[in-house]
Amino acid sequence: MRMIDLKLLAQLSMLSGLILVLCSCNGQNGSQEERGSIQEANTQVAQGESLMNFDTLVHDFGTIIEGERVVCYFDYKNEGVGDLLITGVDATCGCTTPSWSREPLKPGEQETLEIVFDASGRSGEQRKLITVRSNASNQVVQLTIRAKVNNSV
């Protein structure tokens, strides 16, 4: 029991330190609304909620050929103190297919979200949004994939 308490204390201390650094910029690196959201997330995590953190929010496939199917992966981690459950993942286009674990993610665990982009019938600059919904304090996270699609040779 004592080890769990120390681990929780360490996680909350790191999160509090991060928030302190982010909030100490006097509005130079974020709006008042953004700083309020960070403080709200910190309060919710302290109350036992999960916190979903992605390594990156954007993936650029670069230049691909029309008709090609490409795959990318977004790694995420539960940095809260409660179980994280992704309740849905939606893409702005049928050409983009997400796959994710339906199992709860324990605090500290990491998982991967797979995105398949089918460039059939596409050309030019492509930008697709993927909306991830969960029970985390940050309930909605937007991911973006980009590609430049050239006509097949």
Query: Same domain, yes or no, for 75 and 106?
Result: yes
Do 19 and 40 belong together in one domain? yes
Do both 128 and 84 map to the same domain?
yes
Q: Which of 151, 129, 149, 148 is nearest to 140 (CA)?
A: 129
Q: Are residues 63 and 33 in the same domain?
A: no
Task: Please give the C-alpha separations between residue 109 and each of 8, 50, 132, 138, 147, in angstroms, as whole numbers.
Answer: 14, 11, 17, 17, 30
Domain count within the chain = 2
pLDDT in tens, 54-99: 999 999 999 999 999 999 999 999 999 999 999 999 999 999 999 9
- Compute the mean pLDDT over every residue in the chain, rounded to the nearest whole number: 80
CA 76/CA 86 separation, integer angstroms: 11
Domain identity same for 23 and 62: no
The pTM is what?
A: 0.69
> Residue 42 sits in which domain range?
2-46
pLDDT, one tens digit per residue, over 97-112 is 999 999 999 999 999 9
Quote the tokens at residue 47: 């109350």
87 plus 42 within the same structural domain = no
Instruction: Select from 75, 127, 130, 120 the least CA-distant residue to 95.
Output: 120
pLDDT computed for residue 25 by the predictor: 35
Same domain? 83 vs 143:
yes
Shared domain for 76 and 93, answered yes or no, is yes
CATH number of the domain bearing residue 133: 2.60.40.10
